[in-house]
Amino acid sequence: MKRGNQWVVAALLTALALTAGGCATGMELIPVATIAAKGVTKAAAASRPISDSEEYYVGRAVGARILAQQSLRQDPELTRYVNEVGQAVARKSARPQTFRGYHFAVLETSETNALACPGGLIFITRGLLQTCETEDELAAVLAHEVAHVANKDGINSISQARWTEVLTAMGTEAAKQYGGVAGSLVSLFEGSIDDVFKTIVVNGYSRTAEEAADAAAVQTLKQAGYDPGAVASLLDKMMAKEKGASGGMFKTHPPTGERLSKVKALVGEAPAAGKEVAARTSRFKKIKI
Amino acid sequence: MIRASFLKKSTWLAVALAALLLAAGPGWAETLKVSQPNQQLYPDPDFSSTPLAPVPVGAEVTVQRQAGDWYKVDFQGKIGWIHRLAFPQAKAPSRFSLPSLLTGGAVKETTSDEVALAGKGFTPEVEAGYRQKHPEANFAMVDKVESFKVDEAQLKTFIQEGGLKP
């Protein structure tokens, strides 16, 4: 009998201890101090890709840096239209969703360019919008930029060495001040923003990344019901405009004959222009750019 | 007499605890309703994996387990992952569940050191530190761009009128 009582009491105490532990910590099963201490070695050893939320914060900071130099076009009707076209292609892309979704905006500059920040902030300049003659060509630009986000071309500019340092710093900082703002992480974040900014604004993507984004844009336009030939017609216009031009898109997304012929081969027979194309072109013309 | 009454009390408590565990254990097979448009079922808890299928608004999914902000679910026989954004009504992820722990049921898998550190890289706190160092960075405009949204009905009309694929 006595042994039985002890068993019952022990079981109850164990259950209560577990319950109390859960209540006291609220969320954590492993004590914070233990994680922090182990973090030093674990994080240094761990190798993980950048997460969706981290990509989002990098993209926001890159966007904030771009918007420190360029102003936004303040036209609700134009902004809504560009976002409608953008969402129509993004949902048919290889990456229909991101951490906080795709958002499109127009930069108030005559320079011809489009920029994709990691995570889905996409900018098109007024100059490039004016180069587009149809909604399908605008869709081609946006599908190409969505492809850079989907392929993580911007975020992949963060050097592997820097990312390894981030993982190491996470452990070190966790040991010092778990949950606090980590100074070295801010510096590494700053460096990562520089890496991405240099690629998407200054130096441009690799030729391989550009061709992959073209191919993805052709595929996305087909999936969305847009004319995939718009990628080729836009490249044609860009090449014609390139004469004498050097900055902006001509530097970051250089239109070349090789790109054009590869796109034309992918498109194949373009569908004949129907009533729908006319409807799209008509609504495009109504938008004041 | 004293011993007998103590046994009675302990037995009752043990029975009550057992009943609580039995009730709580199988209850984890939670059903959630998707309330946000444009949601997808992913093969991995990662937005960059190629979606398995779209999950429409109103669809009910059975949660098998949770890892951070992702839910592993059964949607019409398809098993995959959905982000918490699909269910704004769902609670923030918890790393500890007493019923699961005691019954050996679906323990939420956010207990390893690596996972605990996974959300501690570039965070809102790091962004705040960056903003302090770079007051010229125009985050206000970024917030404005993030507010540009197209609602589902509006997009549907736009697609239809333009003869695009639904």
Interval A14-49: pLDDT, tens: 444 443 333 333 332 333 333 333 333 343 334 678
pLDDT at A71: 95
- Calculate the alpha carbon distances from A194 to A48, A148, A162, A278, B1 in Å: 21, 18, 11, 43, 79
Which helix (DSSP H) or strand (DSSP E) does residue A250 occupy? helix A249-252
A190-214 average pLDDT score: 92
The C-alpha atoms of residue A28 and residue B93 are separated, in whole angstroms, by 11
- Closest to A281 measured CA to CA, from A236, A227, A240: A227
pLDDT exceeds cutoff 60 at B142: yes
Place of tokens 């040991």: A175
Q: Are the Cβ atoms of A97 and B83 closer than 8 angstroms?
A: yes
- Calculate the alpha carbon distances from A167 to A79, A183, A204, B34 in Å: 38, 14, 27, 34
The C-alpha atoms of residue B80 and residue A202 are separated, in whole angstroms, by 39
Q: Are A65 and A190 in contact (CB under 8 A)?
A: no
Nearest to B155 among A54, A84, A152 (CB): A84
Q: Are the Cβ atoms of B96 and A276 closer than 8 angstroms?
A: no
Task: State the pTM of this model.
Answer: 0.69
The domain ranges of chain A are 3-48+155-201, 64-153+205-286
Q: Are the Cβ atoms of A223 and B114 closer than 8 angstroms?
A: no
C-alpha gyration radius of chain B:
23
Non-local CB neighbours of A178 within 8 Å, separated by 6+ positions: A32, A33, A35, A36, A39
The C-alpha atoms of residue A173 and residue A179 are separated, in whole angstroms, by 9
Contact residues on chain B for A22, CB-CB shorter than 8 A: 96, 98, 101
Higher pLDDT, A257 or A20: A257
Which of A60, A168, A178, A196 to probe by mutation at the B interface, max B CB count within 10 Å?
A60
pLDDT at A279: 87
Q: Are A196 and A66 in contact (CB under 8 A)?
A: no
A45-59, A267-281, B111-125, B152-166: range with lowest mean pLDDT? B111-125
Q: How many C-alpha atoms does A106 have within 13 Å on its Cβ side?
A: 24
Nearest to B46 among A42, A52, A181 (CB): A52
Place of tokens 């009550």: B16
Residues spanned by CATH 2.30.30.40 within chain B? 2-120
Choose from A63-72, A261-270, B37-46, B52-61 the range with maximum mean pLDDT: A63-72
* A257/chain B closest Cα distance in angstroms: 30
- Closest to A58 measured CA to CA, from A12, A128, A118: A118
Q: Are the Cβ atoms of A57 and B123 closer than 8 angstroms?
A: yes
| Confidence category of residue B124, pLDDT binned at 50, 70, 90 | confident
Q: Provide the CATH number for the domain formed by B2-120 in this structure.
A: 2.30.30.40
Q: Are the Cβ atoms of B117 and A39 closer than 8 angstroms?
A: yes
Q: Provide the CATH number for the domain formed by A64-153+205-286 in this structure.
A: 3.30.2010.10
**DSSP per residue, A144-175:** HHHHHHHTTTTGGGS-HHHHHHHHHHHHHHHH
Q: Are B39 and B14 in contact (CB under 8 A)?
A: no
Interval B46-103: pLDDT, tens: 776 778 888 888 899 999 988 877 889 999 999 999 988 788 766 655 444 444 444 4
**DSSP per residue, A193-221:** HHHHHIIIIII---HHHHHHHHHHHHHHH
Contact residues on chain B for A79, CB-CB shorter than 8 A: 148
Non-local CB neighbours of A148 within 8 Å, separated by 6+ positions: A116, A154, A200, A205, A209, A213
Contact residues on chain A for B158, CB-CB shorter than 8 A: 84, 88
pLDDT at B47: 74
Which of B66, B122, B130, B165 to probe by mutation at the A interface, max A CB count within 10 Å?
B122
Pairing mode of beta strands A121-125, A114-117: antiparallel
